[in-house]
Amino acid sequence: MFLRTALRSLSLTALVTTTVLPGCASKPAAPAETPAPGGEDPAAAAVRDADPATVEALKAAIAGPQRSAENRARDQYRHPLETLLFFGLKKDMTVVELWPGGGGWFTEILAPTLRDSGKLIVTNFDTSGPPDAYQTRSGNKFKEKLAGAPEVYDKVEVVTVTDPSALVLAPENSVDLVVTFRNTHGWVEDGIDAAIYGAAFKALKPGGVLGVEAHRAKPQPVDDPKKIAATGYLPEDWVVARIESFGFKLQARSEINANPKDTKDYEKGVWTLPPSFELGDKDRDKYAAIGESDRMTLKFVKP
């Protein structure tokens, strides 16, 4: 399972012993700010009310030369400005990005935004393993990315993950915002989500925010979360209940990254859709027309 998941989702780390994850019973999610029918989404409100200097810095980073045309083309699905402002990003914050992967899609935006007056901490895979191992290759790709543009990434602090159970992201109660994008399913499948979210909880200041974007499954009973997570998707209410079990409280939900075209029933799971196109040319136009996955976008607070 470890290798299979690593090859498709950028969500594993080295030297993990998979453990059996206790089921987290589905239950009604905690009251939170949600988009009202026909009303304003909380992400839109966050953009409207955002710190102007942060908006300016974010827009400059999103339009910056450090981003490839390929990455910019995905903005229509990932909504970086709206998503990061919904999470409450300000340019003078200390921010942790969990599991950015070798490509560092959001790192390209966060690093220049925070470079002058904030701080960005990122995790990376241990690269001391076999050269052909996924973790080694992905970790080296990310290291090379940071080293290749010191004018953008020279102030990024890297935490190398060798054992999630011993993960320390930053001094306790020192971080303003922790973000993770499309990683939760992999952590659940490998039984390491408790360790990772626990480390995030310790690092955050009281009142600090955990921002989570994840592929959203259809509502369903969750008897075996690992089995559902193997598709790349997880039910939103289950994710909320699971993360709240580590001490967080849900503050708001946004539909900014929703995609109602996503039927969530594909042969190769979420990786059937772009950008992965796991089936290659088979029905490629069909999946391209669907676009990227339907995603929950959740804002939690450390009390």
Query: Would you state the pLDDT for residue 247?
Result: 98
Q: What is the pLDDT of residue 166?
A: 97
Alpha-carbon gap, residue 172 to 187, rounded angstroms: 22
- Tell me the whole-structure pTM to 2 decimals: 0.90
Beta-carbon contacts of 88 under 8 Å, excluding residues fewer than 6 positions away, are 46, 177, 209, 211, 299
CB contact at 8 A, 77 and 290: no
Q: What are phi and psi of 188, to 5 degrees?
A: -65, -45
Closest-CA residue to 212 (of 245, 235, 170, 240): 240
- Residue listed under structure tokens 């027309």: 289
At residue 20, the pLDDT reads 34
CB 268 within 8 A of CB 278: yes
pLDDT tens string, the chain, 303 residues long: the values are 333 334 343 333 333 333 333 444 444 444 577 666 668 999 999 999 999 999 999 999 999 999 999 999 999 999 999 999 999 999 999 999 999 999 999 999 999 999 999 999 999 999 998 998 888 999 999 999 999 999 999 999 999 999 999 999 999 999 999 999 999 999 999 999 999 999 999 999 999 999 999 999 999 999 999 999 999 999 999 999 999 999 999 999 999 999 999 999 999 999 999 999 999 999 999 999 999 999 999 999 999
**pLDDT at 2 (0 to 100):** 35
Query: DSSP letters along the chain, please?
Result: -HHHHHHHHS---TTPPP-PPPP----PPPP-B-PPTTS--HHHHHHHTS-HHHHHHHHHHHTSTTS-HHHHHTHHHH-HHHHHHHTT--TTSEEEEE--TTTTTTHHHHHHHHTTTSEEEEEEE---S-TTSHHHHHHHHHHHHHHT-HHHHTT-EEEEES-GGG---SSTT-EEEEEEES-HHHHHHTT-HHHHHHHHHHHEEEEEEEEEEEEBPPS---S-HHHHHTTT-B-HHHHHHHHHTTT-EEEEEE-TT--TT-----TTGGGGSTTT-TTTTTTHHHHHHH-SPPEEEEEEE--
CA 193 to chain centre: 13
Hey, what are 63's tokens?
Answer: 């339009």
In whole angstroms, give the CA distance from residue 25 to residue 238.
Answer: 7
Residues 270 and 294: their CA atoms lie apart, in Å, by 9
User: Which domains are assigned to the chain?
Assistant: 2-14+41-301 (3.40.50.150)
Predicted local confidence at residue 36, as pLDDT: 60
